[in-house]
Chains A and B, each alone.
Chain A
Amino acid sequence: MSSSPDFLHGARTAPTRRTVLAAGLAAAVAPSVRAKPARTLTVAAFPLVDQIVKDAIPAWTRRHPDVAINVVMRQYDDHHTAMTTALSTGVYLPDVMALESSYVGKFSMGGGLSDLLQPPYDIGRYRERYVAYAYDQAVNRRGQVVAAPTDIGPGTMLYRKDLLERAGLAETDLQPSWDAYVDAGMKLKKATGANLIGNVKTLKDLMIRSGLKKGQGIYFDSDSNVLVDTPRFHRAFEIALRVRRNRLDGRLDTWSNEWAEAFRRGQTATELGGSWMVGQMANWVAPTTAGLWRAAQLPEGTWVSYGGTYYAIPRDSDPDRKALAWELIEMMTLDPARQLAALKTQDSFPALLAAQDDPFIDEPQAFLGGQRARVIWREAARHITATAVHKQSNFAEDAVNAELDNVLDDGKDIGQALADVARLLELRAKR
């Protein structure tokens, strides 16, 4: 970071071959001249998390002036691919790796991450300080805790208050059940022309996550039995089909330009997702719609978690720095000041209960027209239970999506579609 102003200066005067060479030489020599901190902790992270860690560096340096922190940022997918590769070969392992919650489940099977229950980490003593489900989510089948939660994404419903009012609807019309949500969507479309949701897949994703028994996964139970051909999935597919048949979804790829544009133009009236969606909306998706949105609990008393971030320590990273790595994780996840800083600057909802009880949680949110929505999310967070992640969850998700496309686009029978997915998954379940 500190080298960028130098670089800018150099670029302003027309660089000759010689100055470029000299600059390169200086850059190569500089670290050894400056080399002050005796040790460096490497943190691998993806966007926003990298910023949160960088923001914590001053506080860390006060504690450990001799230990520098090097944050290696990669884009979301690249980061997780790089972490998979690093863990598989044991080369270039960071001291601390940030992981998105679905990858925690995925990586927890392999034994490549340190068990944080063991000394010197002993995360068990802090268990009560974290949101229960976030902690449980990091426990693998062998009972080891492979990562520490830092932020969570309680599921929430965002809706356009102005559009709802124009259709003579209120929040309570959306909430009683998924059917009521779709009914309201039909009125909404008639009165305003706006779609209920950008993509009906989002609706399906939330529905299949609700009503899980403790320890059950979305697609598999703890004995790797396939749970796809069940009422939970049938209902999700039926509701999705109802939405599509009534042309209530925009058929837009989530995160695509068209999807974002529809929000900006007021063509999409609600969105379901993690609480972090508000930050995304306010920052880049549809900042011009500030004040028009409100947040509410999901329909039908659905409590689901939608993403979240963890820090883990690779098993094979440098043992001399593991204690330090843990100290950094403790600071990031257990220090209310750090957790609140992340909430304030990056909208990342704290996994630390103490931070959730801070008065800042009750602050009104401008994007939501002054609503105190974090209180809603805090309540949701306390209802959510952990879902077991199966090795084949990623495949299952794609297979289900492909069959949902078949049902929505080609009119494939729902029973047949789910039976087909189940067959695909059974072949893989025990692999």
Chain B
Amino acid sequence: MRLPSFLRLSPKWAPYVFISPFVLLFVVFSLFPLCFSLYLAFQSWEPTGGLRAMEYVGLSNFTFAIRDGWFWMSLRNTLWLAIASGVPQHLVAIPLAAFIHTSFRRLRDGVMAVYFLPYITSTVAIAIMFKSLFSQDYGMINAALGELFGLPHTDWLTNAQHIKPAIAFIVFWRYVGFNMVLYLAAMQTIPGELYEAATLDGASRWRQFLHITLPGIKPMIFFGVTLSVIGGLQLFEEPFILTGGKGGPQQAAMTSAVYLFREAFDFNDFGGASAMSWLLFVVVALLTWLTNIAFRSRKGQA
């Protein structure tokens, strides 16, 4: 059956029509908010006064953000969490991937899937689940620690010293599988002959790991670390849900992303929040660039 002519797509237009869903969604949900937040960063806006209540204030939102103690505190919290959750992710994921790569044959996909599962689970569901696991009196984590080591019940989520490790653990748990899949994929591209040759030359498993596997997956390490840097600096859902959106005791779990959300929606300062989000963007860009430099080592490969 032939379609009526007005329903037929001419080859000239077809490409545009096919990419239009993405472009439309991108413009509406990414490009416009991006431009709007840049515009807002230079405005003072009492949002309940409507759009006409905006007032151009030059750079004052930026000078405010830079002088604001909480902005720096939230950045420190973010960096702490990014390091405490990010570094172990890779330190565990690489050996784990090597282990799975060499020791599992038929079960590999199944094992991989188990580790990958937390990554595809809804963050909200995870945060809610951990909230009950970490509960002081009725939580399984305290019950287990008490049972195994006789430790007293820890106030994980209501003590400033404990909430950061708790959140870092959740983030670690969530992304370690994702990184492991990345590394496993990279390891599968390393030619087997290299290992065979090394074995013939009498290199130990450890030597092979050090001199074949690690250099072989270096581009993937760069990719994984970059993702961790960006993701870590934008950390939002886990601390937001675990603290009921309030930042937790002493605001110890208030990451930059949580703070700028609160600055806009709790404290009604959309201009200041926009300025902060652009400052955060600068920090993310800077650290990503530094990561890039760190990996572009002597041999010029990245």
Contacts and interface: CB of A to CB of B under 8 A. Distances in A.
Interface of A: 77, 81, 83-85, 87-90, 106-107, 109-113, 251, 253, 257-258, 315-316, 391-392, 394-395, 398-399, 402, 405-406, 409-410, 420, 423-424, 427-428, 431
B251 A107 contact: no
Interface residues of B, number: 36
Contacts of A88: 45, 47-51, 270
A49 B196 CA distance: 74
The 10 closest A-B pairs by CB, nearest first: A110-B49, A110-B48, A88-B47, A110-B46, A112-B48, A87-B48, A405-B250, A395-B267, A107-B48, A111-B49
Given A258-B138, A406-B250, 5 more contacts: A84-B265, A398-B246, A402-B247, A424-B69, A431-B44
Contact of B64 (A87, A89, A431): A431
A85 B247 CA distance: 22
B160 interface: yes
Nearest to B136: A258
Contacts of A81: 265
A84 B268 contact: yes
Given A110-B46, A258-B137, A402-B250, A424 B267 contact: no
Contact of B70 (A107, A316, A391, A424): A424
Given A258-B136, A427-B68, A392 B267 contact: yes
Contact of A409 (B48, B249, B269): B249
A406 B138 CA distance: 26
A344 B178 CA distance: 56
Nearest to B244: A253
Contacts of B159: 409
A427 B268 contact: no
Interface string B138-166: 10000000000000000100111000000
Given A87-B50, A395-B267, A398-B246, A423 B69 contact: yes
B109 interface: no
B272 interface: yes
Interface string B248-274: 011100000000001001111110100
B9 interface: no
A89 B135 CA distance: 40
Contact of B251 (A251, A398, A423, A428): A398
Contacts of A409: 159-160, 249-250
B290 interface: no
Contacts of B47: 84-85, 87-88, 110
B227 interface: no
Q: Which of A258, A316, A431 has the most CB of B within 10 A?
A: A431
Interface of B: 44-51, 53, 64, 67-70, 135-138, 155, 158-160, 245-247, 249-251, 262, 265-270, 272
Contact of B53 (A83, A110, A423): A110
Contacts of A111: 46, 48-50, 53
6 contacts: A88-B49, A88-B50, A90-B51, A394-B268, A402-B251, A405-B250
A307 to B, nearest CB: 17
B250 A315 contact: no
A88 B54 CA distance: 10
Q: Which of B64, B70, B155, B245 has the most CB of A within 10 A?
A: B70
B249 A405 contact: yes
B250 A316 contact: no
A330 B49 CA distance: 24
Contacts of B67: 427
B266 A394 contact: yes
Q: Which of B44, B262, B267 has the most CB of A within 10 A?
A: B267
Given A391-B268, A395-B267, A405-B160, A106 B48 contact: yes
Contacts of A392: 267
Nearest to B137: A258
A431 B63 CA distance: 12
Contacts of B262: 398
A231 B265 CA distance: 31
Contacts of B269: 431
Contacts of A84: 47-48, 265, 268
Contacts of B135: 257-258
Contacts of B68: 424, 427-428
Contacts of A258: 135-138
Q: Which of B50, B70, B136, B160 has the most CB of A within 10 A?
A: B50
Contacts of B45: 88
A109 B268 CA distance: 11
A196 to B, nearest CB: 18
A253 B158 contact: yes
Contacts of B266: 394-395, 398
Contact of A251 (B158, B245, B246, B247): B158
A251 B137 CA distance: 12
Nearest to A396: B267
A315 B50 CA distance: 9
Given A84-B268, A110-B48, A111-B49, A398 B247 contact: yes
Contacts of A394: 266-268
Contacts of B46: 109-111, 391
Contacts of B48: 83-84, 87-88, 106-107, 109-113
B133 to A, nearest CB: 14
A404 B157 CA distance: 17
A90 B67 CA distance: 33
Contacts of B53: 110-112
B41 to A, nearest CB: 14
A182 to B, nearest CB: 22
A111 B69 CA distance: 30
A391 B53 CA distance: 15
A111 B49 CA distance: 5
Q: Which of A316, A394, A405 has the most CB of B within 10 A?
A: A405
Contacts of B155: 251
A405 B267 CA distance: 20
Nearest to A111: B49
A112 B247 CA distance: 29
A83 B245 CA distance: 18
Contacts of B245: 77
Contact of B50 (A112, A391, A406): A112
A10 to B, nearest CB: 29
A244 to B, nearest CB: 13
A109 B270 CA distance: 15
